[in-house]
Amino acid sequence: MLFPTVTAALPADSLAFALRHAADAIAVVIGGRNLDLALAALKVPAASRPAIQDLAYGALRRYGRGDFLLGQLLSRPLQEARIRGLLLAALYRLEARPEDAHTTVDQAVHASGGIAGGRYRPLTNGVLRNFLRQRDALLTALAEQQGAARWQHPDWWIDALRTAFPTAWQQALEAGNGHPPMTLRVNRRHGDAAAYLARLAAAGIGARQLDDNAIMLDKPQAVDRLPGFFDGHASVQDLGAQRAAALLDARDGMRVLDACAAPGGKTAHLLERADLDLLALDAAAERATRIDDNLRRLDLKAEVKVADCARLDRWWDGRPFDRILADVPCSASGVVRRHPDAKWLRRQEDVVSFATTQARIMDALWRALAPGGRMLYCTCSVFPEENAQQTAAFLRRHPDAGRIPLTDGSEELQLLPGPDHDGFFYALLEKRPA
């Protein structure tokens, strides 16, 4: 549920106000709901949102650590989820901003006054001051932990990555706990990355070029600061996601399907690279509007439909596609630094459920692919059940399917989260003529 807030006495520009609303959002996630929806539901001034979001995202990125610390500082579990959320947000800030410890404690106590009639004010004060007094001993105990307290992911997730990537699991987990990079895709119809990099420099925005069309910013920026953004000269898109268009290799005149297209980043990238007869599908009408919005900003054209891509009878006219991008629903385990609540909301059985849906989509889309055509299977997951195991099973089911080597000659590409990109998986499949 979303909690009513009583914050009339808290100035909207105060830390107490931000902590109070971050506590509500965190409490909603603890109750099993999505963080973005919780933040969107908050009735707060726009100027207050960045501080609230920073506290909520930071606390949830470090939830395993905060949960351990609260376990050491509380004599019994808290029943009031909003106070738990407030303490998690305050502990995050005490560690992130130790020079402001006095202010953080003071403002957290003020924020607690609007929860449950203020009866948790003494507890809030005591827990946070005890943390400051016992900090060294608590951090020593924390350093000896493994599992969620050490790696900030659920134990089952840690075990899955350790098994799948025995030499890289630690780096992947650490990357998943950090802040994501902000990467731009330069619209090649308006120039290349080198030219846009110069425009950024002229605007006082530090950045570095990654390839012909990708630029990583030194610091995240509001899009209205980006030169030509609203004229379609650049888009925000992770470097890993930008791999899709090149791997699919759609060329002028081809009939192309983007099967799970929202919010439209990959759709737009395909159209920036070639003149295509492109159909973009998404199952949710609200998400499909974001495809239209992106195409309108970039002055690109595609047919957009709302439909379940696996239900061919609802949308397919029987004309086969030369290329299909199957960017299927998945656990999103490769992008959790952008959605830190997902680490704690996902369950191991969800991966199995996603794998079942992915197989159903692949089998359906294969029927719509022309002989000699290619389908790029894509996820933003790091779990083999959704990736390599999924494509291997598909090839066993479809004797007319074969792998096409990727640009580096490999059969598939598994990107783990790192400094330059999120986690993605790609495999390119060709339909052999009968």
Residues carrying an active site annotation: 380
Helix axes 388-397, 348-367, angle to 10 degrees: 40
Buried b or exposed e, range 320-338, using 16+ CB within 10 angstroms: bbbbbbbbbbbbbbbbbbb
- Identify each DSSP E strand in 92-238 by its residue range: 183-186, 207-209, 214-217, 234-236
Closest listed residue to residue 162, CA positions, set 172, 175, 148, 176: 172
Question: How far is 98 from 100, CA to CA, in rounded Å?
Answer: 5
Question: How far is 82 from 75, CA to CA, in rounded Å?
Answer: 18
Report the alpha-carbon angle 74-76-81, nearest 5: 85
Question: How far is 86 from 44, CA to CA, in rounded Å?
Answer: 17
Region for residue 116 given its phi and psi (left: phi exceeds 0; alpha: psi -120 to 50; beta: otherwise): left
Q: Specify the DSSP class assigned to residue 192.
A: -
Give the tokens for residue 357. Answer: 């849906």
Give the tokens for residue 120. Answer: 């948790």
Question: How far is 361 from 309, CA to CA, in rounded Å?
Answer: 7
Give the tokens for residue 107. Answer: 């403002």
Question: How far is 105 from 125, CA to CA, in rounded Å?
Answer: 7
Give the tokens for residue 260. Answer: 């799970």
Token pair 């899955």: residue: 160
Provide CB contacts within 8 A for 388, sequence distance 6+.
412, 414, 425, 427
Q: How far is CA 259 from CA 203, 283, 373, in A?
A: 37, 9, 15
Closest listed residue to residue 258, CA positions, set 272, 279, 276: 279
Element (H, E) at 133: helix 121-143
Contact 184, 235 (CB under 8 A): yes
Question: How far is 92 from 64, CA to CA, in rounded Å?
Answer: 11
